[in-house]
């Protein structure tokens, strides 16, 4: 039986990447992702993980090396954060459109400037159109479980897409948590060998990432879009099978005390755990309040999300990123468009907060919920409310 062991979440992610028998790791260290790739470098150097560790001079090169590796059919992992993810940006599109199953941990970090190593979701949101599967986790156990699931999802021949696992830098990456790591035999039973269907092979040469003139580009992009949307079926199936094997279940939209709620708060990532405490407190006071979290950000779970909010009056959305000069937080603007076509849509109130590692406490969430409910009644001329800014 697997033992629950106290360890730093970054180390635990390294351990699950090892248990997944990863063939190639290529990464460039950047705070707050560093401990993940340092631990993997140690495991390879100590001979505990039989993998190729490719040290590179930048994240652009890290992702480029991952392309080549995944194209040969090797199980491929990398990790990054913040500016590093931005430096990879153009290569991210190549990975998804070439359908290369790469797994990447992103320790969410705010973008410069001013320079911040602390967490928010501006790096994650800047990648929402890159064609990757994006999954948000809230704590160490979820990070470990979903990293394992990510390999199986990415490499499934009905998917063949790269997957980002988003965990908040420091708030998740650097804390020591009790982690249940699976046994090698359990991992081997859950995760089949990578069987990439069209690998680079000198006996059967193919050309990848080739020229696509106007006559074919639209077809290529539509094929990619259909495939990413369809990947949700496999993601659900993999989470279901993970639940059967490990008794921990994951859903694209997670609900907490949503039964008979008329107001829901929506969060993503680690702050959800603080928000739950607030929900418990306000429920204790008899308020009909619940919390929903979007775990699967891409492909966006339209059906599950609409189902989760269909009976409520007010939806208060917390974004941890700003779409500058735009309609407010990226999450809220997507949610507004997901609900626009619905007959019974709730009042939606948009908050932006928790930027660059700024904490939101239990009392802070209470303030967000209370003023959100008030704005839902009275209306507001603002595209969004900024939480916690000093006037």
Q: By CB under 8 A, tell whether 114 contacts another protein.
A: no
Task: By CB under 8 A, name the one of 205, 284, 325, 379 that touches another protein.
Answer: 205
Compute the least distance from the CB of residue 99 to another protein, in Å: 4
Among 18, 35, 75, 99, binds another protein (CB under 8 A): 99
Binding residues among 299-328 for another protein as defined by CB under 8 A? none
Q: How far is the C-alpha of 383 from the C-alpha of 134, rounded, in Å?
A: 26
Asked whether position 90 contacts another protein by CB under 8 A, the answer is no
Binding segment (CB under 8 A) for another protein, from list 9-17, 37-45, 199-207, 312-320: 199-207
The upper half-sphere exposure of residue 200, i.e. CA atoms within 13 Å in the direction of its Cβ, equals 12
DSSP classification of residue 342: -
Sign of CA dihedral 379, 384, 390, 391: negative
The whole-angstrom separation of Cα 288 and Cα 290 is 7
**Cβ–Cβ under 8 Å, residues 173 and 36:** yes
d(Cα 339, Cα 222) in Å, to the nearest integer? 24
Nearer to another protein by Cβ, of 201 and 374: the residue is 201
Q: Does 203 bind another protein (CB under 8 A)?
A: no
Question: Which window, 50-58, 79-87, 174-182, 201-209, contacts another protein (CB under 8 A)?
Answer: 201-209
Bond into 114 cis (ω within 30): yes
Compute the least distance from the CB of residue 212 to another protein, in Å: 6
> Is cis: bond before 32, omega within 30 of 0?
yes
The nearer residue to another protein, 226 or 389, going by C-beta atoms, is 226
DSSP letter (8 states) at residue 380:
-
Residues from 207 through 246 that contact another protein (CB under 8 A): 207-213, 215-216, 218-220, 222-223, 226
Q: Does 197 help bind another protein (rule: CB under 8 A)?
A: yes
**Pairing of β 253-256 and β 314-319:** unpaired
Residues in contact with another protein by CB under 8 A are 97-100, 160, 197-198, 205-213, 215-216, 218-220, 222-223, 226
């Amino acid at each position: 039986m697997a033992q629950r062991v106290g360890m730093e979440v970054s180390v635990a992610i390294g351990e699950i990447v090892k248990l997944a028998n990863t063939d190639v790791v290529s990464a460039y260290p950047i705070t707050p992702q560093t401990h993940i790739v340092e631990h993997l470098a140690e495991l390879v150097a100590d001979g505990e993980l039989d993998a190729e560790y490719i040290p590179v001079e930048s994240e652009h090169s890290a992702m480029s090396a991952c392309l080549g590796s995944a194209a040969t059919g090797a199980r491929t992992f990398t990790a990054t954060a913040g500016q590093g993810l931005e430096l990879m940006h153009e290569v991210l599109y190549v990975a998804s459109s070439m359908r290369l199953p790469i797994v990447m941990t992103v320790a969410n970090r705010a973008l410069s400037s001013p320079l911040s190593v602390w967490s928010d979701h501006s790096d994650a949101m800047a990648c929402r159109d890159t064609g990757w599967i994006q999954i948000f986790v809230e704590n160490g156990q979820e990070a470990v479980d979903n990293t394992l699931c990510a390999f199986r999802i990415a490499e499934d021949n009905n998917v063949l897409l790269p997957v980002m696992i988003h965990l908040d830098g420091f708030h998740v990456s650097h804390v020591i948590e009790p982690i249940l790591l699976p046994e090698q035999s359990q991992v081997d039973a859950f995760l089949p060998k990578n069987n990439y269907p069209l690998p680079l092979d000198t006996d059967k040469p193919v050309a990848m990432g080739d020229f696509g003139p106007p006559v074919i580009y639209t077809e290529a992009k539509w094929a990619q879009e259909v495939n990413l949307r369809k990947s949700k079926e496999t993601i659900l199936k993999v989470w279901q099978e993970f639940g059967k094997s490990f008794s921990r279940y994951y859903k694209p939209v997670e609900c907490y005390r949503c039964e008979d709620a008329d107001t829901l708060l929506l969060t993503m990532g680690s702050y959800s755990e603080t928000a739950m405490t607030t929900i418990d407190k306000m429920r204790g006071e008899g308020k009909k309040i619940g919390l929903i979290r979007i775990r699967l950000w891409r492909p966006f779970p339209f059906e599950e999300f609409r189902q989760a909010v269909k009976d409520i009056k007010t939806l208060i959305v917390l974004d941890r990123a700003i779409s500058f000069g735009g309609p407010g937080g990226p999450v809220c603007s997507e949610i507004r468009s997901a609900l626009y076509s619905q007959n019974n849509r709730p009042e939606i109130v948009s908050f932006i907060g928790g930027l660059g590692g700024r904490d939101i406490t239990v009392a802070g969430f209470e303030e967000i919920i209370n003023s959100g409910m008030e704005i839902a009644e009275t209306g507001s001329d603002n595209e969004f409310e900024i939480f916690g800014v000093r006037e």
